[in-house]
Amino acid sequence: MNKKNYHIPAIVTLTMLITYLHFGTMWQFSQRVVFEELYYLPLLMGVLHLGLKGSIITWLFVSAAYLPFFFGTWNTSFQELLDRILHLVFTGVFASLTYYIAERDRNKTRQTEQGRYLSAIGQVATVIVHDLKNPLISILGFARRLREGKGNVTQGAQIIEDSALNMQKIINSVLDFTKPLQLDLKDVDIRNSIRKAVESCQTKADKHRVTLRLQLPSGLITSAIDSLQIERAFVNLIDNAIDASTNDSEVKISASTEKSGIIIIIKDHGAGMTLETLENLFMPFYTTKNEGTGLGMPISKKVIETHGGTLCINSTHGVGTVAEIRLPYR
């Protein structure tokens, strides 16, 4: 049942309850106790939740529920009859004005959301074009040189291939982020996935003179995971920790278990993040690096959450960053 279907019985019930209370008190106390103002409540619900057609139907229903008050021993003067008629007119005016104001606000909200959506598309397009422009310039430049018989053929071909691979990596990252993630779950020892991720990052760590210290429990940590996707998420997080680290520093990768699941922690002693960077960390295409698409962290978060886990980043500027991954047992 959708939300509209919940509002309809609520409006009907509230209107009938108000009519019952109003009718009962009119018989007993004449005009000393009046509940007719409460009819504005179901009108307001109809206007806010049921659209134009629903607002009209709500007003007609509320008016029909109010019609019995035109008849009875309490309605003996022209003034009382005029009061009833004015009540119907005022409720109609109230419903019309409220609908106009609500619809105006809804249109403003839609326009704001469309503006944000178009702005986001513009930002994405700008980032993608910027990232593809440099390798494309290299490909065109060296292709032209080779055609003119200038430069080393082997070196030029290698640069063209590397640039094309870089473009392919960017395109694949964008596609991986936008398409639904399909997992191939198998029962594996998650320690092996952590080791493979560390091995994949070892060359980069050596280049930056960063020590990768691995701390794993001796016992098996078996879980149903997609090893390829999980390793990819681990690699992204370890790579970021290496990039943030200073020379001759250390990145610690550890794993442990508790009743609720598996905990993997990646800790660096780098410069840490500013509050702005931390707030925008999982925003697609947001990056503070000179190279990269800004999709590494969003993709890692997507992979971990698709496994039913969580990724939490804690960072202190000038101290370092800790990435905490929690995966459930399966």
> What's the average model confidence in pLDDT over 48-64?
81
- Residue 182 predicted with pLDDT over 60: yes
Other Cβ atoms within 10 Å of 300 Cβ, number: 24
Q: Taking all residues of the chain, what is their mean pLDDT, rounded to a whole number?
A: 80
> Could you give the percent of the chain with pLDDT greater than 70?
80
pLDDT, position 33: 47
* Residue 190 to residue 186: CA distance in whole angstroms: 11
Closest CA to 45 of 70, 1, 12: 12
Q: Is 152 helix (H, G, I), strand (E, B) or coil?
A: coil
> What's the average model confidence in pLDDT over 125-136?
70
Across 133-142, 171-180, 271-280, least confident range: 171-180
Write down the pTM of the prediction: 0.53
The string over 131-153, giving b where at least 16 C-beta atoms fall within 10 Å of a residue's C-beta and e elsewhere, is bbeebeebbeebeeebeeeeeee
137 contacts: CB under 8 Å, gap ≥ 6: none
Q: How many residues does the chain have?
A: 330
> What's the average model confidence in pLDDT over 45-56?
80
Locus of tokens 């980032």: 127
Highest mean pLDDT, choosing among 94-103, 125-134, 286-295: 94-103
Q: How confident is the model at residue 213 (pLDDT cuts 50, 70, 90)?
A: very high
Q: Number of C-alpha atoms within 13 angstroms, CB side, residue 322? A: 9
* Residue 242 to residue 197: CA distance in whole angstroms: 13
Q: Compare 96 and 125 and report the one with higher pLDDT.
A: 96
Q: How confident is the model at residue 293 (pLDDT cuts 50, 70, 90)?
A: low
Contacts 24+ apart (CB under 8 A), 171-179: 173/293, 173/295, 173/296, 173/299, 174/128, 174/293, 174/295, 176/295, 176/299, 177/284, 177/295, 177/298, 177/299, 177/302
Q: How confident is the model at residue 210 (pLDDT cuts 50, 70, 90)?
A: very high
* CATH code of the domain occupying 186-327: 3.30.565.10
CB 210 within 8 A of CB 245: yes
* Residue 128 to residue 178: CA distance in whole angstroms: 14
pLDDT, position 13: 82
